[in-house]
């Protein structure tokens, strides 16, 4: 069952020709490769529009290499590996075509460098120290085919920096606002623009920042509308969601 067949089947679902249950049942006949330690979901790209992403943090170098190998056999490209340790990256680079970014510890295997980038996502950050999270978000969005503008170190304690870039902000389709410490950036941006704002709290700070909880709570309580929040330091999640929103089709 190749991708075209899947699309035809889903089309039948949307037209009511077959039920979702029947479709689900078909998809389940061969949906994953079981490696023992992991079940690779080859159809995720089909269901959700993006290939499976490997969260590198809890996995050994061997497991990561194994999963990548199997995915490559299945013809995947633009394979994202987040939280990839430098040592694992070094080993992995011997086995495949890996682009590695050390600051966000972010790897891309078989990157499709020709992929067209569309729309407009802005990644804004409160300070230099938030850069790793920002880059995880920005790279994720770029790999998924989005145009990304970086706007770093524009925290609210130096408001004029942010205001001088108002044009960039107001022309974005989606904004990812990354901040540690008091986490006020998304609220201020949210009050200035009319596009969705994805707030990413970071663990940057010390003492009463409680490992990012202070920024997280601040963002959840934002008095600006149009702001939603992802987990602390979750640059990948923000980039992924921003891509979904940015690439939405217009209402017919």
CB 146 within 8 A of CB 121: yes
74 binds a second copy (CB under 8 A): no
| CB nearer to a second copy: pick between 55 and 69 | 55
102 binds a second copy (CB under 8 A): no
% helix, strand, coil for the chain, step of 5: 45, 20, 40
Helices (H) and strands (E) in the chain, counts: 11, 11
- Per CB under 8 A, which of residues 137..196 are in contact with a second copy? 152-161, 163-164, 166-167, 170-171, 173, 180-184, 187-188, 190-196
17 binds a second copy (CB under 8 A): no
58 binds a second copy (CB under 8 A): yes
Among residues 71, 105, 177, 240, which is the contact residue for a second copy, using CB under 8 A?
A: 240
Residue 145: left if φ>0, alpha if ψ -120 to 50, beta else—which one?
A: left
| CB nearer to a second copy: pick between 35 and 97 | 35
Question: What sign does the dihedral 54-212-137-7 (CA atoms) show?
Answer: positive
| CA-angle at 230, arms to 229 and 232, nearest 5° | 115
Looking only at the bridges linking them, the beta strands covering 197-201 and 79-82 are unpaired
Interatomic CA distance for residues 202 and 100, integer angstroms: 22
Q: Collapsing DSSP states into helix, strand and coil, what is residue 159?
A: helix
7 binds a second copy (CB under 8 A): no
| CB nearer to a second copy: pick between 59 and 122 | 59
Task: Tell me, by CB under 8 A, how many residues bind a second copy.
Answer: 112
CB 182 within 8 A of CB 170: no
Looking only at the bridges linking them, the beta strands covering 146-151 and 98-101 are unpaired
81 binds a second copy (CB under 8 A): no
1 binds a second copy (CB under 8 A): no
| CB nearer to a second copy: pick between 93 and 211 | 211
Tokens 């407009």 belong to which residue?
Answer: 120
CB 138 within 8 A of CB 148: yes
Among residues 6, 9, 27, 93, which is the contact residue for a second copy, using CB under 8 A?
A: 27
Question: CA dihedral defined by 56, 62, 68, 70, rounded to 10 degrees?
Answer: -140
Instruction: Choose the binding region for a second copy from 14-22, 69-77, 91-99, 106-114 (rule: CB under 8 A).
Output: 14-22
51 binds a second copy (CB under 8 A): no
Among residues 61, 63, 69, 110, which is the contact residue for a second copy, using CB under 8 A?
A: 63
| CB nearer to a second copy: pick between 39 and 97 | 39
| CB nearer to a second copy: pick between 48 and 97 | 48
| CB nearer to a second copy: pick between 33 and 99 | 33
32 binds a second copy (CB under 8 A): yes
């Amino acid at each position: 069952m190749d991708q075209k067949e899947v699309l035809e089947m889903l089309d039948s679902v949307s037209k009511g020709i077959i039920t979702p249950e029947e479709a689900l049942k078909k998809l389940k006949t061969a949906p994953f490769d079981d490696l023992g330690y992991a079940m690779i979901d080859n159809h995720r790209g089909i269901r959700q529009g993006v290939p499976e992403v490997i969260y590198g943090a809890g996995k050994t170098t061997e497991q990561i290499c194994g999963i990548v190998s199997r995915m490559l056999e299945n013809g995947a490209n633009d394979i994202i590996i987040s939280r990839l340790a430098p040592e694992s990256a070094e080993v992995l680079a011997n086995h495949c075509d890996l682009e590695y970014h050390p600051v966000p510890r972010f790897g891309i295997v078989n990157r499709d460098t020709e992929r067209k980038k569309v729309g407009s996502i802005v990644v804004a950050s409160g300070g230099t120290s938030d850069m790793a999270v920002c880059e995880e978000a920005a790279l994720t969005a770029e790999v998924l085919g989005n145009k990304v503008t970086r706007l770093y170190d524009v925290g609210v304690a130096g408001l004029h920096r942010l205001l001088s870039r108002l044009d960039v902000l107001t022309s974005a389709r989606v904004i990812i606002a990354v901040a540690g410490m008091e986490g006020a950036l998304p609220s201020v941006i949210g009050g200035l623009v009319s596009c969705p704002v994805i707030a990413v709290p970071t663990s940057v700070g010390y003492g009463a920042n409680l490992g990012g909880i202070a920024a997280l709570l601040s963002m959840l309580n934002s008095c600006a509308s149009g702001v939603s929040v992802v987990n602390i330091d979750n640059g990948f999640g923000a980039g992924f969601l921003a891509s979904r929103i940015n690439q939405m089709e217009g209402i017919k």
